[in-house]
Structures are given as structure tokens and as C-alpha cells.
Amino acid sequence: QTVVTQEPSLTVSPGGTVTLTCASSTGAVASDYYPSWFQQKPGQAPRALIYSTSNRHSWTPARFSGSLLGGKAALTVSNVQPEDEADYYCLLFYGGPQVWVFGGGTKLTVL
Amino acid sequence: EVQLVESGGGLVKPGGSLRLSCAASGFTFSSVWMGWVRQAPGQGLEWVGRVKTKPEGAATDYAAPVKGRFTISRDDSKNTIYLQMDSLKTEDTGVYYCTTRLPATASYWGRGTLVTVSS
């Protein structure tokens, strides 16, 4: 069974920079996993932030950026704002079985 | 404006069936892959499955926990997709979200519909 792993929680100060990562139990994450990132605030539906590793949606603030880092997918949030406090999920594509798998999520606290 | 509106959630007994619907608007529905994601209470997101377009045979793929029990279909004349859920288990309880591949998997989300499987 494929497992996608994220940090359970991270804390960052307002104005700071934080990097969230997303690892696959099958090995290094590459661009053909089409990594995506989502933000979810309490009581709300998730919102897409990044797709295909590093592409922002039209509504995604420029302070959010995606990349591949050390065999993992990464989401970097620069100049963190209080409203960035939320749960963040990554999503990876597995071409063999043609399925998508979410990571367990990272709870980001802005303090 | 892209809109996705789910309906059909409710309370069902273990072993029972339920059909969810998702009405879409604001984009060319027939050209877009659609999918479902669920979230158990207090838990993370879980990809359920997706359906491709009619020219692609409306092919479907599913996550392992629901394969053989859930069926996704689409009706392009109604701009609607469906999630037929059979042999429901208590662990299927959660909010079910409809999503689009526009331009990528799960770019847009509905508000979700709650399914509760309990005796």
C-alpha cells in the first residue's frame, strides 16, 4: 500500500518562511507524480494552491511556491501571513495503478 | 464562474446503498475529467476516484478501499456526475467532495455532502 508522508505539524512566525514536504513510500518524488498542494481551513472545503509541481492557480498568492527538493515535493510559503494558518495536503499521482494519493496533511500554525 | 454542487448525502445503514450527485456549471463539462474526494470526521483527505470524458470511454479509476463497491458515472446532458455507493461500511462515513480536473486534478471543489453510515 502506497503511503504519502507529510510533517504532522509546523509552526512559523508571521513574516517568516516555511517549507512543507511530501514524500512517497515508493521512492523519490519526480515531476511525473504531478505533485499538487491544497489548503484547508476549519469548516471549509479544500482549495487548490499548486499543481504539476510548481504551477500556481490564478487565485494562489505569489508567496506560495512549489518545487522538488531532495527527492520530495515541497511547498514553500514566504512572508507568512496569519491567514495562512491552515491544514495543507499534498497529492501525488501513481501512473501504474492510475490512482492519486493524498498525504496525511500538515497543520501549519502561525505564531 | 465554476460551481460544483453536491447532493444526496444522508444516513444509511451498513451494507446499504446511496447515490451522490454533483451538478456542475461555469465550464465545458463534457471536456473535463471529474472526480470525488472524501474526508472522514477529523481526518485527512482521501481520493476516491475519477471519470474521464466520453470520447475517452468515460473510463474510471478508484482507490483501493472503494474499488468494486463504488461506481462513478457522468451525464453530460445534465452536466452532472454521480457516485453510486454500495455495500457501505462505517468507515465510509465522511464528507464527499466533487472535484474537477481544470486544468489539473482537484482544481475546483464543491462544498461537500455528508454521508453517515451507522446502524
Do the chains contact at A97 and B61, CB–CB below 8 Å? yes
Spell out a b/e string for B69-86, using b for 16 or more CB atoms within 10 Å of the CB, else e: ebbbebeeeebbbbbebe
**B46 close contact with A: CB closer than 8 A:** yes
Q: Which among B47, B4, B7 is positioned nearest to B27, based on CA atoms?
A: B4
Do the chains contact at A52 and B104, CB–CB below 8 Å? yes
| Region B1-7 average pLDDT | 97
On chain B, the residues whose CB falls within 8 A of the CB of A55 are 104
Q: φ, ψ for residue B90 (rounded to 5)? A: -60, -30
Q: Do the beta carbons of residue A88 and residue A37 sit within 8 Å?
A: yes
The closest CB to that of A46, out of B61, B103, B109, belongs to B109
Q: How confident is the model at residue A70 (pLDDT cuts 50, 70, 90)?
A: very high
* pLDDT tens by residue, A16-25: 999 999 999 9
Do the chains contact at B97 and A93, CB–CB below 8 Å? no
* pLDDT tens by residue, A13-47: 999 999 999 999 999 999 999 999 999 999 999 99
Q: Which among B86, B62, B82, B77 is positioned nearest to B13, based on CA atoms?
A: B86
| Region B106-113 average pLDDT | 96
* pLDDT tens by residue, B16-55: 999 999 999 999 999 999 999 999 999 999 999 999 999 9
Q: Do the beta carbons of residue B21 and residue B116 sit within 8 Å?
A: no
Q: How confident is the model at residue A1 (pLDDT cuts 50, 70, 90)?
A: confident
The closest CB to that of B47, out of A34, A48, A101, belongs to A101
- Look up residue A27 and give its DSSP letter: B
B105 half-sphere exposure, CB direction, 13 A CA radius: 26
